[in-house]
């Protein structure tokens, strides 16, 4: 099963995202990031979806984040434990250039999009509990009121099934109402588990296994516009008058979970689009996967939100002022705020933090200072504070 999953993910990792991604996402380099993951020996401690070492957390399951800032916070929070392991094994702390760090984080971010193999036994329970087999047949079990699910047993990913459900949604809702069956909703890994059950018990004979093509966010951006998604959800999928931000809704969700969420809101979307006299979009081939990829990748840079004022407060409350002078005030084992403010990008800040973990750890242990923990997008707030400091007069105080 793991080998089958990697057979599907490999095309995505070698896809030239630097060329395919929408503007603002051109720096995504998952292929290079995977090379860095191996060359920096990260795989000696970490696995990805169960493949690799089990000394550290499985990064395919634990490093879920909504953007580059949250990913950076995750690794910063765990860096003391990693440093202890490196020192215990007599290994040097790995250092990154900003470009390497961005590629490495983009690799992990792409992994979050992918669906790991589902749980077929749980999928069978879901098929029964959600009354799917009251209408559909799977193998030798189920009803004959709708098309059999066996035709999706060739697919390794739940997106083709989810897309067919969307296209048949109106007819399915009408049939469910007629038969007095409540429309199902799907959470988290439900779609992946159902797909796993279909693969296990569906009749495919000697048919060739099918893999989803690598999602193309550039094509997804074009489809997003053509199918009028922006009329409700905003031109950049960040929210509109009639619909929520899809970027926010897709955070920390795999493709299957995103498709399940889309299904859950299909009835409300159908009514809203009818009120606007817009036809409910129909998806063909890779349409759904590409649109979801566009929405997902748009969140990588975390371009919206954040507060410089909150960052100034965090710089103090997280103890940064214990090591970094502000306008000539404070201790000076680390570079002053004015120097940090000259870093060219948030990735440069994250890289500097990571590369100096051993030095910072020693100083904080001498001073009996607790290692600061970053939640959500706090690193972004601090970056915005530093940017503001760069533009502010030299007398600025945190």
Q: What is the DSSP string of 133-148?
A: GGT-EETTEE-SSS--
The predicted model scores a pTM of 0.75
d(CA 383, CA 91): 31
Q: How confident is the model at residue 117 (pLDDT cuts 50, 70, 90)?
A: confident
Cite the DSSP H helix spans in 180-328: 190-201, 217-226, 230-233, 246-249, 255-264, 266-275, 287-298, 308-317
pLDDT of residue 123: 97
pLDDT of residue 371: 95
Q: Which helix (H) or strand (E) holds 385?
A: helix 378-391
* Chain-centre distance for alpha carbon 250: 8
> 162, 203, 199, 202: which is closest to 184 by C-alpha?
162
Please say if the pLDDT value at position 7 is more than 50.
Answer: no
Please say if the pLDDT value at position 363 is more than 70.
Answer: yes
The CA dihedral of 238, 107, 110, 285, to the nearest 10 degrees, is 120
Q: What is the mean pLDDT of residues 363-372?
A: 91
pLDDT digits 0-9 by tens, 9-33: 444 444 444 433 444 444 567 778 8
Task: Assess contact for 253 and 261: CB atoms under 8 A.
Answer: yes
Domain boundaries defined on the chain: 2-113, 120-298, 308-391
* Chain-centre distance for alpha carbon 388: 29
pLDDT digits 0-9 by tens, 250-291: 877 888 999 999 999 988 888 888 888 888 899 998 999 999
In sequence order, what are the beta bridge partners of 142? 137
Residue 329, CA distances (Å) to 362, 392, 396 in order: 22, 16, 11
In sequence order, what are the beta bridge partners of 47? 52
Domain 2-113 sits in CATH 1.10.760: yes
d(CA 5, CA 11): 11
Q: What is the mean pLDDT of the chain?
A: 85
pLDDT digits 0-9 by tens, 187-196: 989 999 999 9
Spatial neighbors of 22 by CB under 8 A, at least 6 apart, are 217, 218, 221, 294, 297, 298
Q: What is the mean pLDDT of residues 35-55?
A: 87
Pairing of strands 137-138, 141-142: antiparallel
Residue 212, CA distances (Å) to 150, 157, 189, 321 in order: 17, 7, 18, 50
Torsion-angle region of 2 (φ positive above 0: left; ψ -120 to 50: alpha; else: beta): alpha
């Amino acid at each position: 099963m793991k080998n089958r999953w990697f057979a599907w993910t490999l095309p995505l990792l070698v896809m030239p995202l630097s060329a395919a991604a929408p503007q603002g996402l051109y720096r995504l380099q998952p292929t290079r990031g995977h090379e860095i993951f191996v060359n920096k020996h990260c795989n000696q401690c970490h696995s990805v979806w169960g493949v690799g070492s089990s000394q550290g957390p499985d990064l395919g399951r634990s490093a879920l984040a909504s953007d580059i800032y949250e990913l950076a916070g995750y690794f910063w929070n765990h860096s003391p434990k990693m440093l202890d392991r490196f020192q215990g094994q007599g290994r040097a702390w790995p250092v990154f250039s900003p470009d390497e760090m961005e590629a490495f984080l983009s690799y992990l971010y792409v992994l979050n999009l992918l669906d790991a193999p589902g749980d077929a036994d749980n999928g069978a329970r879901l098929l029964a509990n959600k009354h799917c087999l009251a209408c559909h047949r799977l193998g030798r079990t189920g009803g004959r009121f709708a098309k059999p699910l066996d035709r999706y047993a060739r697919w390794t990913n739940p997106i083709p099934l989810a897309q067919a459900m969307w296209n048949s949604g109106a007819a399915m809702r009408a049939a469910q109402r007629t038969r007095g069956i409540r429309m199902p909703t799907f959470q988290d890994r439900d779609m992946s588990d159902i797909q796993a059950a279909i693969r296990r018990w569906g009749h495919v004979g000697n048919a060739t296994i099918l893999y989803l093509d690598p999602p193309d966010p550039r094509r997804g951006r074009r489809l997003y516009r053509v199918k009028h998604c922006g009329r409700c959800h905003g031109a950049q999928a960040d929210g509109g008058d009639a619909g929520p931000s899809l970027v926010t809704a897709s955070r920390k969700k795999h493709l299957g979970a995103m498709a399940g969420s889309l299904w859950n809101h299909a009835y409300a979307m159908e009514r809203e689009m009818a009120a606007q006299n817009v036809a409910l979009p129909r998806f063909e081939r890779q349409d759904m996967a590409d649109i979801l990829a566009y929405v997902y990748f748009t969140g990588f840079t975390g371009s919206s939100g954040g507060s410089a004022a909150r960052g100034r407060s965090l710089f103090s409350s997280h103890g940064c002022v214990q090591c970094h002078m502000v306008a000539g005030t404070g201790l000076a084992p680390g570079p002053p705020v004015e120097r940090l403010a000259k870093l060219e990008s948030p990735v440069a800040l994250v890289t500097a933090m990571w590369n100096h973990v051993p030095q910072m750890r020693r100083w904080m242990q001498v001073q009996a200072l607790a290692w600061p923990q970053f939640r959500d997008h706090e690193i972004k707030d601090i970056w915005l504070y530093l940017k503001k400091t760069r533009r502010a007069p030299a007398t600025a105080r945190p």
